[in-house]
Amino acid sequence: MTNTPPRLTISTSPFVLEGASTPDLMGKVIYALLPVLLAAAWFFGVAALLLVATACLGAMATEWFFATKRQGLGSLTDGSALLTGLLLGLTLPPGLPLWMAFLGGFIAIALGKLIWGGLGNNMFNPALLGRAFLQAAFPEAMTKLWLVPRFGPEQSFFDFTGFFHVPDSLLAMPLMRASADGFSGATPLGLAKFDGQITEISRVFLGNISGSLGETSALLLLVCGAWLAWKRVLNWRGPLATLLSVLVFGSLLHLIAPESCPPPGFMLLSGGLLFGAVFMVTDPVTTPITSTGLWIFGFGLGLLVVVIRVYGGLQECVMFAILFMNGLTPLINRITQPRQFGG
Partner 1 sequence: MDLLAPPLAKPCSFRHGVHPQENKQFTNREPLERMPFVDTYFLPLSQHIGAPARALVGPGDRVVRGQKIAEPGSYVSTAHHAPVTGTVESIELRPHPNGKLMESIVIRSDPFSDQRLPEKAPLVLGDKDALIKQVQQAGIVGLGGAAFPSHVKLSVPEGKRAEFLIINGCECEPYLTCDHRLMLEQPAGVIRGLQIIMEQLDVGRGYVGVEMNKADAIYKLEALAKPHENIVIVPLAVKYPQGAEKMLIEAVLKREVPEGKLPIDIEVVSYNVGSAVAIAQLVDHGTPLIERIVTVTGPAVSKPRNLLVPIGTPVLSVLEHCGLQVSRLRQLIMGGPMMGMAQKDLDAPILKGTSGLLALDSLQVAEREEMPCIRCGRCLDACPMFLNPSRLAMMARAEWAEELEAHHLMNCFECGACSFVCPSFIPLAQLMRLGKTVVRQHKQKEASA
The residues that touch partner 1, with contacts defined as CB under 8 A, are 1-5, 7-18, 20-25, 78, 118-121, 235, 284-285, 288-291, 337-343
Instruction: Using the minimum distance from each CB to partner 1, give the nearer residue, 270 or 282.
Output: 282
Closest approach of partner 1 to the CB of residue 145, in Å:
33
Closest approach of partner 1 to the CB of residue 100, in Å:
29
Closest approach of partner 1 to the CB of residue 2, in Å:
6
Say if CB 217 and CB 278 are below 8 A apart: no
Instruction: Using the minimum distance from each CB to partner 1, give the nearer residue, 63 or 316.
Output: 63
Instruction: Using the minimum distance from each CB to partner 1, give the nearer residue, 60 or 314.
Output: 60
Instruction: Using the minimum distance from each CB to partner 1, give the nearer residue, 35 or 284.
Output: 284
Closest approach of partner 1 to the CB of residue 262, in Å:
34
Closest approach of partner 1 to the CB of residue 7, in Å:
6
Closest approach of partner 1 to the CB of residue 91, in Å:
21
Instruction: Using the minimum distance from each CB to partner 1, give the nearer residue, 187 or 242.
Output: 242
Contacts of 232 (CB under 8 A, 6+ apart): 20
Closest approach of partner 1 to the CB of residue 318, in Å:
22
Q: What is the 3-state secondary structure (H, E, C) of the chain?
A: CCCCCCCCCCCCCCCCCCCCCHHHHHHHHHHHHHHHHHHHHHHHCHHHHHHHHHHHHHHHHHHHHHHCCCCCCHHHHHCHHHHHHHHHHHCCCCCCCHHHHHHHHHHHHHCCCHHHCCCCCCCCCHHHHHHHHHHHHCHHHHHHCCECCCCCCCCCCCCCCCCCCCCHHHHCCCCCCCCCCCCECCCHHHHHHHCCCCCCHHHHHHCCCCCCHHHCCHHHHHHHHHHHHHCCCCCCHHHHHHHHHHHHHHHHHHHHCCCCCCCHHHHHHCCCHHHHHHHHCCCCCCCCCCHHHHHHHHHHHHHHHHHHHHHCCCCCCHHHHHHHHHHHHHHHHHHCCCCCCCC
Instruction: Using the minimum distance from each CB to partner 1, give the nearer residue, 261 or 281.
Output: 281
Closest approach of partner 1 to the CB of residue 79, in Å:
11
Instruction: Using the minimum distance from each CB to partner 1, give the nearer residue, 27 or 35.
Output: 27
Instruction: Using the minimum distance from each CB to partner 1, give the nearer residue, 145 or 294.
Output: 294
